[in-house]
Chain A
Amino acid sequence: MSDDLDAWPIIDTTDTLVSVRGAHVRFGAVRGAGAGAVRAVDGVDLEVARGEVLALVGESGCGKTTLIRSMIGLEPLAEGSITVDGHEVTRNARQLRSLRRRAQMIFQDPTGALNPRHTIFEAVAEGLRIHRISGDETELVTAALASAGLRPPERYLRRFPHELSGGQRQRVLIAAAMALDPVVLLADEPVASLDASIRGEILALMRSYVDTHGVSIIAVTHDLGLAWNIADRVAVMYLGRIVELGPTEEVLADPQHPYTRALLSVVPETRRMEQQILQGETPDPSRMPTGCRFHPRCPVVASGEAARLGIEARCRGEDPVLTVRSVGHTAACHL
């Protein structure tokens, strides 16, 4: 490994928008760090640049949703810190409110995220009212709806969520989020509940805001195809920690972590890889394995390859840290 690769990669640190340092989120913890607490997010470091699209991938329960919820203060951090556009995520109500104008969230289930008793107008205007944004409310709402592709916007104002399709509802949520002119969109499985036919439209819509508004997007997904389509960088999470991080093409074309390889091998479009079906369920995040958290399911350990390479003892006993593999591409594996 040469020296120039050790420098912190591609991102211009002066333009870092979201910065996560040593973030831990625990559930069911009795008085802070207790045994038996579920370590949903377990030591994450991450930087996202202005105008960047980052995909956060991983299987269910790996803590990816919890991580983006903690970025907006919906889950309190047990340890570590997160700053968004220079504003630290705190528990202080006033500071949280100004943070929540800069970071906006888009939900997986647009039906549940809209109050069934509120009209589309009210749903979009809610944020404007909360933040007392000046200007003509109707004008702002119609402009936001139009920019989200709901045209003509006047037709939607008096309607209720149940009168719209799933894709239209997701557009309403995106319009409501973008009406506040945020610097980062936190998207939690934004298209998972939608028809395959309209997923592309919604992704294109989100991507268009990156170009027109310079907004950053952190998109949680279990769909590597989505990551491939819209993301500049991919972060792979396993059991509360990022195990691989790098430019999308590099991570997907040249995965360094056995877990990423296993994820990729089961994507139908990548038949050139031999399928690796991981053994066993995700371990219980309240009883983290010793050593590398992936070793009980790792095909490299199971096949005996790790033993041949003489790293099996480290896999079982030593927690790997992210090391640089190529420019801007890091992975946490002893291999």
Chain B
Amino acid sequence: MTAVSRNEVFRRFRRDRLAMFGLVVLVLFALMAILAPLLVDDDGLSAVASLDNPTWARPSGDFLLGTDHLGRSVAAQFVYGSRVSLFVGLMATIFTIAIGSIVGVVAGFAGRWVDAALMRLTDWFLVIPFLPLAIVLAAVLGRGIWNIIFVISITSWPSTARLVRAQVLTVKERLYVDRARALGASQLHVVRRHVLPNVAPLILASATLAVPISILTETTLAFLGLGDPTQASWGKTLEEAFQAGAISRSAWWYYLPAGLGIVAVVLAFTLFGRALEEILDPRLRER
């Protein structure tokens, strides 16, 4: 990977319209999640507080996105749901990338039996079937947001570890690593000054691509009823809409916002991540 200066990255990124579109969408959703209490009344989430509201109300001035079968505001669920989706997506990605990077760097750099042992462990996690594990863990640990994060992280770090290890192996053989050793550099110095900076762009790109996968996974688990029952999330909204028969009632305002929200966020992260990956990895730019 050749060096790309920081200014060059920004310049290329600004030229990429799809990536800029993705970034704008992400910023909007992030603002919505952060400013949720200012945008909607969280009474709209509670069935008790919504007892006086009409059920299955169409979108109107009172309820921007209508109400559900319990009279709760769909808009409130949508806005607060973005918090859970984004939070789970980001946290799961942080853990995935952290575990994957540490395992990948240690395995690639240490080599020999350390590498062999860590890679066998990685293989073992790689072949664990995801959904059954998620269901079992949800049953054992109870349903909760941190359990979802745990399940996503524990099943998705192996691919990151393999990616990072491969990059470390190529960087480790570079002549400048030899030169650093000949200068008297310690292992730690070589990792910090030479290996990590050359692996970091790859980690960053793979992180931005791991976020949408994590968000989709959270939605899947919530839709299967494995999410936190006390917190609104887009997946949970979809599940409840499905259970309440919103589709046969043509209550599109109930399920469409959550569905489109997921699509928009996943698409935005993917566009952003792809552009970043292409800019930072010259091998992809050629195509």
Contacts and interface: CB of A to CB of B under 8 A. Distances in A.
Contacts of A109: 175
A121 to B, nearest CB: 14
A93 B181 CA distance: 11
Contacts of A97: 184, 186
A233 interface: no
Contacts of B242: none
Given A114-B176, A115-B176, A100 B182 contact: yes
Interface residue SS majority, chain B: helix
B182 to A, nearest CB: 4
A103 to B, nearest CB: 8
A192 interface: no
B46 interface: no
Interface stretch (B97-105, B133-141, B192-200): B192-200
A105 B175 CA distance: 12
A216 interface: no
Nearest to A108: B175
Given A160-B3, A162-B3, A113 B175 contact: yes
Contact of B179 (A96, A105, A117, A162): A105
B185 interface: yes
B186 A74 contact: no
B3 A126 contact: no
Contacts of B174: 112, 115
B181 A74 contact: yes
Contacts of B197: 117
B184 A117 contact: no
A127 B176 contact: no
B194 A130 contact: no
A171 interface: no
Please tell me the size bucket of the interface on A: 20 to 34
A101 interface: yes
Contacts of B186: 93, 97, 130
Given A112-B174, A113-B175, A117-B3, A126 B185 contact: yes
Given A127-B184, A130-B183, A176-B183, A116 B2 contact: yes
A65 B122 CA distance: 37
B109 to A, nearest CB: 15
A113 B3 contact: no
B216 interface: no
Interface string A146-186: 00000000000000101000000000010010001000000
A96 B176 contact: no
A72 to B, nearest CB: 6
A126 B181 CA distance: 11
A91 interface: no
Contact of A130 (B175, B176, B189, B198): B189
Contacts of B193: 115, 118, 126
B43 interface: no
A100 B190 CA distance: 15
B180 interface: yes
B41 interface: no
Given A100-B184, A113-B175, A162-B3, 10 more contacts: A74-B181, A96-B184, A98-B184, A100-B183, A114-B179, A115-B176, A115-B194, A116-B3, A126-B180, A126-B193
Q: Rank and list the top 3 A-B pairs by shortest CB-CB distance, nearest first.
A: A112-B175, A100-B184, A105-B182
27 contacts: A72-B182, A74-B182, A96-B184, A97-B184, A97-B186, A100-B181, A101-B184, A104-B183, A105-B179, A105-B182, A107-B178, A107-B179, A113-B175, A113-B179, A115-B194, A116-B3, A117-B198, A126-B185, A126-B193, A127-B183, A127-B184, A130-B185, A130-B189, A160-B3, A162-B2, A162-B3, A176-B183
